[in-house]
A and B are shown apart, each in its own frame.
Chain A
Amino acid sequence: MMEDRAKTPTRFLLGATVPESALPWLGTLAAIALVDLAVRIGMLPAAFFPPPSVMFVTLGALLGTASFWHGLWDTLWTWAASLGAAAVLGIALGVGMGASRYLYASLRLVVEFLRPIPSVALIPAVILVIGVDFGSKIFLAAFAAFWPILIQTIYGMHDVEPQAMDTARAYGMPGRDRLLRVALPSASPYVGTGIRIGSAVALIIVVTMEIVVGIPGLGELILQARQGANVERTYALILAAGLLGMSLNLGFARLEARLLFWHPSHRKDTR
């Protein structure tokens, strides 16, 4: 991406020059226009594919309804609650397993066996035991988001430079400070990556529970729109779900860059 052509304008259709910063907009608009056209001239069946312009209009109309904001809120707060729980537990256990060889050895195989279980496989068990409510949604999403955070934290703890730890020890830093002020900061980019992956996973599980089980949220609205054969609304809500996912990703990337500006992996001159 760092090629030297980065700043030069690009020749576009008919020899007109456009700055490269406009390309993403042009590309997106062109794709939308193309699909729109394909539907309107009948290449794609309009019964299944509403023209993208109609999707945006429908989404705009949805923004004015209370049910949309209720659904969005239910998705968002359950996502945040489960990610928070997963982060607290994942980081705590990850730091423990990263710092103690004995804890690591005892739990390694357990983690190796539990991690690949597709968390959605637990949906029937969770709704039987906890019930069809927000609790089961939060539990399962937290369960799923827990693993990447745990694994990344362990990696991060194992990747702490031994010299840094030795230096701290040589200067007589007590164990608690070595953990909190040397190991943990050094592992923080890994933890950040874990939380970013965990956030995406938690959103996937939250939406899955809403769609498969019918717990209130954006996913349930999609389910209802589909069951009511309201094609435009189905697409508009899926569009909203994608935009939500995108903003969460972007938000985390920004947050990470802001919080970890001091870490070598985020410093400008090393990037």
Chain B
Amino acid sequence: MKRNGRTVLIALEIATPFVLVTLYALWAAPRDSFFFPPLGEILAALRADWFGERILSDIWPSIRRILLGFSLSAILAVGLGFALGLSRRARIATAPLVEFFRALPPPALLPLTILVLGVGDVAKVLLIALVCLFPILQNTIAGITGIDPTLRETARMYGITRRGELLHVVLPGALPAIFAGLRTSLSLAVIMMVISEFVAASNGIGFGIWQAKRLFDIPLMWSGIIILGILGYILNMALLQIESRVLAWHRGARKAAE
């Protein structure tokens, strides 16, 4: 009975996505609807366009923008977060500013960066970095202030140097929270990449989708959306992999990674 139940569960889990895709294929094929083209056409566009020359001309520029902006903000935010996390007064004094930028809907900054930095690659990378900065910063600060004071005092009592304390007590203690911030920021990075390419760009996945929409090439548009889904999925999985490796020692790591 018990084994039977588990088999049913696993079968359900694997079968449902296939059933849904098949249902779409069966629903769309005879209809030939303009906005919801047959599955075959979408897959053909996926293969011919996105997995063809667009890998280099559009997909790679988008990935590069995300990675550059995201890494830049990760470095800045963790550094700044350490400074603010370790100094109580600085933290309290800057709390409203951090809170403000964290609450600001990120796309509101898009007109600003276009105004100040233009529409080039640098502007996009800096926009992504700016938007990703605050969730990581806030989480780093929370991670550091959340460390049990006894831990740091014990370390100090055993004569561990300031550098050793930072490297071996504060950093590991804050890492789970830092990764939570990194995950939030990574999805923001994808969002900002897409909308900055919608609004003004000459290449990139977002640009490709927007152009397809303007030309009413609907299968190409849907296939581009699928590409973005795959990209989001892969980036998310990659970060989770890094996290579970880095935090393998952390008991709550698995829970936090979910």
Q: Which residues of A contact B (CB under 8 A)?
A: 1, 3, 5, 10, 20, 23-28, 30-31, 48-49, 101-102, 105-110, 113-114, 116-125, 127-129, 200, 203-204, 206-208, 211-212, 218-219, 222-223, 225-226, 231, 234-235, 237-238, 241-243, 245-246, 248-249
Contacts and interface: CB of A to CB of B under 8 A. Distances in A.
Interface in B4-21: 8-10, 12-17, 20
Given A226-B115, A249-B103, 11 more contacts: A25-B96, A113-B229, A117-B225, A118-B232, A124-B212, A203-B105, A204-B191, A208-B105, A212-B198, A238-B108, A246-B100
Interface of B is mostly: helix
B101 interface: yes
B241 to A, nearest CB: 14
B88 to A, nearest CB: 7
Contacts of B222: 125
Contact of B104 (A23, A107, A241): A241
A122 to B, nearest CB: 6
Nearest to B228: A121
A204 B106 contact: yes
Contact of B105 (A113, A123, A204, A223): A204
B35 interface: yes
B190 interface: yes
A20 B92 contact: yes
Given A116-B229, A116-B236, A124 B195 contact: no
10 contacts: A23-B89, A24-B92, A24-B93, A48-B115, A110-B17, A116-B235, A117-B232, A125-B221, A211-B110, A243-B100
Among A118, A207, A246, chain B packs the most CB atoms within 10 A around the CB of: A118
A117 B226 CA distance: 8
Interface of B: 8-10, 12-17, 20, 35, 88-89, 92-97, 99-101, 103-112, 114-116, 145, 149, 187, 190-191, 194-195, 198-199, 206, 209-210, 212-213, 218, 221-222, 224-225, 228-229, 232-233, 235-236
A264 to B, nearest CB: 18
A120 B229 CA distance: 11
A116 B13 contact: no
Nearest to B10: A105
A114 B17 CA distance: 10
A116 B233 contact: yes
A69 B115 CA distance: 24
A24 B12 contact: no
Given A124-B209, A208-B107, A235-B112, A117 B12 contact: no
Given A28-B97, A242-B103, A234 B115 contact: yes
B152 to A, nearest CB: 11
B126 to A, nearest CB: 13
Contacts of B224: 121
B13 A108 contact: yes
A116 B95 CA distance: 30
A217 to B, nearest CB: 11
A102 B8 contact: yes
B92 A109 contact: no
Select the residue from B14, B17, B222 with max chain A CB neighbours within 10 A.
B17
B112 A124 contact: no
A118 B115 contact: no
Contact of B111 (A25, A49, A226): A226
A105 B9 contact: yes
List 3 tightest A-B contacts by C-beta distance, closest first: A27-B93, A245-B103, A242-B104
A242 B225 contact: no
B97 A27 contact: yes
A106 B12 contact: yes
Nearest to B100: A242
B50 to A, nearest CB: 13
Nearest to B209: A124
Contacts of B89: 10, 20, 23
B187 A118 contact: yes
A128 B194 CA distance: 17
A211 B191 contact: no
Contacts of B93: 23-24, 26-28, 30
A119 B198 CA distance: 13
Given A109-B13, A110-B20, A212-B198, A121 B108 contact: no
A114 B230 CA distance: 10
A245 B131 CA distance: 14
A101 B187 contact: no
Contacts of B105: 203-204, 206-208, 219, 241-242, 245
A123 B213 CA distance: 10
Interface centre among A23, A121, A218 (most CB of B within 10 A): A121
A25 B107 CA distance: 27
Contacts of B99: 246, 249
Given A116-B233, A208-B195, A211-B108, A27 B115 contact: no
